[in-house]
């Protein structure tokens, strides 16, 4: 964490324990996709311990996440991940004030594992439990710590309201974030998410899973003008996305290639694809800034979050757009972009601070839009 020069913002959004005047400690659990993760985060924005057990190697040979394998891997890992997190923080469960876990959306087998573990811990210890929406974890984590586009400390503090580009493997949305649990949908994808497009294009090129990191890296050595990928919807008003046309174009370009792909071809392909994705994101965000709801709320910060927020070109282009519009740009540090327990613990703390705890058993939800919070 320290090498990423993370800043901790002192905004006092999450109150300290008023009786003892010590920070509130939250154990957060994430298990909605292919990471089993737990973290202990306090209300002073310290991450005391954080373990991310990635199942990626188990899914790689199938070219994507296999839900049944993921659920079983979560079952095998969850107990050790939670115990080790407590150990690393030098805490026992008695020291923890709040338990939080992802209760959706996500692959239901995995969500069930983490959510039932958290419910069991909370019931047996009689501690408050927060059902965290995974997307809200991504959305709020820039308030735990934020960096500039290149990952360096820029004295960024993310206060409500902010304009959020939420781009992950499963979602692609522009949201106006008014507060904890307050999300207004400004635009969203009509088909694939940006992460899905990266993963599918990488698969076509034989670059393995997950596709985002390797396409991002290859793109840095390629020519973004080598292939004329379309920019779907960019000639239309509004803030929605469509990535299926870009994916079809990728398939068409590749079908014309009858020899083995060279490194140069792959790099140019990745650079051209990425340039189309970046253009679409910037075009839609530009429109979002002119949206009546956004203008009225007048957010000071433009934020990117979700796994795709790791992308160097997207971060750089969004930072430029923010500067042009006299906004501050903020992104989570790289290790808090993809799925992680710290974002769930932080969202747990923010919800706990407003009394949003579970009072009766709650069923996890495979689908759970942020606008239904």
Positions in the binding site for ligand KG4 (CB under 6 A): 33, 168-170, 195, 198-199, 210-213, 216, 306-308, 310-311, 338-339
Residue 199 Cβ, how far from ligand KG4 at the closest point, in Å? 5
Nearer to ligand KG4, 23 or 222 (CB): 222
Q: With CB cut-offs between 5 and 8 Å by kind, which of ligand KG4, Zn ion, none does residue 183 bind?
A: none
Q: With CB cut-offs between 5 and 8 Å by kind, which of Zn ion, ligand KG4, none does residue 23 bind?
A: none
The DSSP string of 70-126 is: HHHHHHHHHHHHHHHHHHHHT--GGG--EEEEEEESS-HHHHHHHHHHHHHHHHHHT
Give me the residue label for tokens 């419910």: 119
Residue 304 Cβ, how far from Zn ion at the closest point, in Å? 13
Residue 100 Cβ, how far from Zn ion at the closest point, in Å? 15
Nearer to Zn ion, 271 or 309 (CB): 309
Residue 134 Cβ, how far from Zn ion at the closest point, in Å? 6
Nearer to Zn ion, 23 or 169 (CB): 169
Q: With CB cut-offs between 5 and 8 Å by kind, which of ligand KG4, Zn ion, none does residue 128 bind?
A: none
Residue 317 Cβ, how far from ligand KG4 at the closest point, in Å? 13
Quote the radius of gyration of the chain (alpha carbons, Å).
Answer: 20
Q: In this structure, how many other beta carbons lie within 10 angstroms of the beta carbon of residue 88?
A: 15
Cα 127 from Cα 113, distance rounded (Å) = 19
Residues that bind Zn ion (CB under 5 A): 168, 339
Enter the tokens of residue 104: 């959706």
Q: With CB cut-offs between 5 and 8 Å by kind, which of Zn ion, ligand KG4, none does residue 212 bind?
A: ligand KG4
Give me the residue label for tokens 């239904």: 372
Nearer to ligand KG4, 168 or 189 (CB): 168
Q: With CB cut-offs between 5 and 8 Å by kind, which of ligand KG4, Zn ion, none does residue 352 bind?
A: none
Residue 349 Cβ, how far from ligand KG4 at the closest point, in Å? 20
Q: With CB cut-offs between 5 and 8 Å by kind, which of Zn ion, ligand KG4, none does residue 133 bind?
A: none
Residue 35 Cβ, how far from ligand KG4 at the closest point, in Å? 7
Q: What are the residues whose beta carbons fall under 8 Å from the beta carbon of 311, sequence distance 6 or more?
A: 212, 216, 274
Give the CA-trace dihedral at 168, 171, 173, 178, to 10 degrees. Answer: -80
Nearer to Zn ion, 66 or 226 (CB): 66
Q: With CB cut-offs between 5 and 8 Å by kind, which of Zn ion, ligand KG4, none does residue 308 bind?
A: ligand KG4
Nearer to Zn ion, 136 or 339 (CB): 339
Task: Name the nearest CA neighbour of 171 among 33, 373, 355, 319.
Answer: 33
Any alpha helices (H) in the chain, and if so which ranges? 56-60, 67-89, 108-125, 134-140, 194-204, 211-219, 244-255, 263-290, 292-297, 312-324, 341-353
Nearer to ligand KG4, 121 or 336 (CB): 336
Q: CB of 141 within 8 A of CB of 347? A: yes
Nearer to ligand KG4, 89 or 343 (CB): 343
Residue 313 Cβ, how far from ligand KG4 at the closest point, in Å? 8
Cα 214 from Cα 211, distance rounded (Å) = 6
């Amino acid at each position: 964490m320290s090498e990423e020069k993370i800043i901790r913002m002192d905004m006092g959004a999450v109150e300290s324990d008023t009786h003892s005047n010590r920070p509130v400690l939250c154990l957060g659990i994430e298990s909605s996709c292919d990471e089993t993760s737990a973290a202990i985060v306090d209300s002073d924005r310290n991450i005391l311990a954080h373990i991310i057990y990635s199942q990626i190697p188990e899914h790689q040979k199938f070219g994507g996440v296999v839900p049944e394998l993921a659920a079983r891997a979560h079952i095998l890992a969850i107990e050790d991940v939670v115990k080790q997190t407590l150990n690393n923080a030098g805490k026992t469960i008695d020291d923890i004030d709040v338990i939080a876990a992802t209760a959706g959306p996500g692959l239901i087998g995995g969500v069930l594992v983490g959510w039932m573990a958290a419910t069991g811990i909370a019931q047996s210890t009689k501690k408050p439990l927060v059902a965290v929406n995974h997307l809200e974890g991504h959305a709020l984590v820039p308030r735990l710590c934020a960096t500039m586009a290149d990952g360096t400390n820029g004295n960024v503090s993310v206060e409500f309201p902010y304009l959020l580009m939420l781009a992950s493997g499963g979602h692609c949305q522009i949201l106006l974030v008014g507060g904890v649990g307050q999300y207004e949908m400004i635009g969203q994808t009509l088909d694939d998410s940006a992460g899905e497009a990266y993963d599918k294009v990488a698969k076509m090129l034989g670059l393995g899973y997950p596709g985002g990191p390797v396409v991002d890296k290859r793109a840095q050595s390629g020519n973004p003008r080598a292939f004329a990928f379309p920019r779907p919807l960019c000639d239309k008003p509004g803030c929605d996305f469509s990535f299926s046309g870009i994916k079809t174009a990728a398939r068409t370009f590749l079908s014309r290639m009858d020899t083995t792909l060279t490194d140069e071809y792959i790099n140019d392909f990745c650079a051209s694809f990425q340039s189309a994705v970046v253009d679409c994101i910037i075009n839609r965000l530009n429109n979002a800034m002119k949206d009546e709801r956004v203008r009225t709320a007048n957010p000071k910060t433009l934020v990117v979050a979700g796994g795709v927020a790791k992308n160097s070109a997207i971060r750089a282009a969004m930072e430029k757009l923010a500067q042009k519009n006299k906004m501050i740009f903020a992104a989570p540090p790289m290790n808090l972009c993809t799925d992680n327990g710290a974002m769930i613990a932080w969202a747990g703390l923010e919800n706990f601070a407003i009394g949003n705890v579970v009072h009766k058993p709650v069923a996890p939800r495979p689908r759970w839009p942020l606008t239904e919070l």
